[in-house]
A and B are shown apart, each in its own frame.
Chain A
Amino acid sequence: MAKKLYPDARSALKGLLHDNMLIAAGGFGLCGVPERLIDAIVESKVSGLTVASNNAGIDEEGLGKLLRTRQIRKMMSSYVGENKEFERQYLAGELEVEFCPQGTLAERMRAGGAGIPGFYTKTGVGTQVAEGKDVKIFDGEEYVMERGIFADLAIIKAWKSDDSGNIVFRKTARNFNLPAATCGKVCIVEVEEIVPVGSFDPDCIHLPGVYVQRMILGAPYDKKIEFRTVREKESV
Chain B
Amino acid sequence: MAWDRNQMAARAANELQDGYYVNLGIGIPTLVANNIPSGIEVTLQSENGMLGIGPFPLEGEEDADLINAGKQTISELPMSAYFDSAASFAMIRGGHIDLTVLGAMEVAQNGDIANWMIPGKMIKGMGGAMDLVAGVKKIIVVMDHCAKDGSPKFIPSCTLPLTGKNVVDLIITDLCVFHRSNHESSFKLIELAQGVSADDVKAKTTADYVVEL
Contact B65 A170 (CB under 8 A): yes
Per DSSP, chain B at the interface is: loop
In the assembled complex, how far is the CB of residue B84 from the closest CB belonging to chain A, in whole angstroms? 4
A-B CB contacts (within 8 Å), total count: 182
Chain B 128-154 per-residue mask, 1 if CB under 8 angstroms from chain A, else 0: 111100110000000000000000000
Point out the residues of chain A lying under 8 angstroms from B47, CB to CB.
102-103
Residues of A close to B162: CB separation below 8 A: 126-128
Stretch at the interface among B14-22, B69-77, B173-181: B69-77
A223 to B63, CA, bound (A): 9
Q: How far is the CA of A79 from the CA of B116 in the complex (A)?
A: 10
Is residue A235 contacting chain B, with contact meaning CB distance below 8 A? no
- Per-residue CB proximity of A210-236 to B under 8 Å, as 1/0? 000000000000011111111101000
C-alpha spacing A80/B46, complex, angstroms: 18
Q: Is A96 located at the chain interface by the 8 A CB criterion? A: no
CA distance A82 to B90 in the complex (A): 26
How far is B46's CA from A221's CA once the two chains are assembled, in angstroms?
Answer: 25
A62-101 vs B, Cβ < 8 Å mask (1 yes, 0 no): 0000000000000001111110000100110000010101
How many residues of chain B get a CB closer than 8 Å to chain A's CBs? 53
Residues 51-71 of chain B: 1 if any A CB is under 8 Å from the residue's CB, otherwise 0?
000011111011111111011
Query: Does A101 lie within 8 Å of B131, measured CB to CB?
Result: yes
Instruction: Name the contact of B125 in the complex, choosing from A99, A179, A228 (C-beta under 8 A).
Output: A99
Q: Are A29 and B67 in contact, with the CB atoms below 8 A?
A: yes
> Which residues of chain B come closer than 8 Å to A230, judged between CB atoms?
56-59, 61-62, 73
B156 in the interface (beta carbon within 8 A): no
Give Cα A87 to B125, complex, Å. Answer: 11
Which listed residue (A127, A128, A178) contacts B84, Cβ 8 A? A178
Q: B50 within 8 Å of A by Cβ? A: yes
With contact pairs A54-B85, A101-B130 given, residues A175 and B165 touching in the complex (Cβ less than 8 Å): no
Of chain A, the residue at the smallest CB distance from B127 is A79
Q: Mark A20-34, 1 if CB is under 8 A from B, else 0.
A: 000000001111100
B73/A231 in contact, CB under 8 A: no
How far, in angstroms, from A14 to B209 measured CA to CA in the complex?
Answer: 63
Interface string of A26-57 (1 = CB under 8 A from B): 00111110000000000000000000001000
B84–A106 contact, CB under 8 A? Answer: yes
Residues of the A chain whose Cβ atoms lie less than 8 Å from the Cβ of B109 = none
Taking the closest CB of chain B, its distance from the CB of A104, in whole angstroms, is 7
Asked, given contacts A128-B162, A179-B86, A231-B56, whether A122 binds B125 with beta carbons under 8 Å apart, the answer is no
A174 proximal to B (CB < 8 A): yes
Residues of chain A lying within 8 A (CB to CB) of residue B57? 229-231
Nearest opposing residue in chain A for B70, CB measure: A227
- Is B187 an interface position by the 8 A CB rule? no
Can you report 9 residue pairs joining A to B where beta carbons are below 8 Å apart?
Answer: A81-B125, A104-B130, A109-B86, A172-B67, A175-B48, A223-B65, A227-B73, A229-B72, A231-B55
Q: A90-B123, A230-B59 are in contact. List 14 more A-B contacts (CB 8 A).
A: A28-B85, A31-B64, A80-B123, A80-B124, A103-B130, A103-B135, A123-B130, A123-B134, A125-B134, A170-B65, A171-B63, A172-B48, A172-B66, A230-B57
Task: Give me the interface of A with B, judged by CB distance under 8 Å.
Answer: 28-32, 54, 77-82, 87, 90-91, 97, 99, 101-107, 109-110, 121-129, 159, 169-179, 206, 223-231, 233
Interface positions of B (Cβ within 8 A of A): 46-50, 55-59, 61-68, 70-74, 76, 82-86, 88-90, 92-93, 112, 117, 123-131, 134-135, 161-166
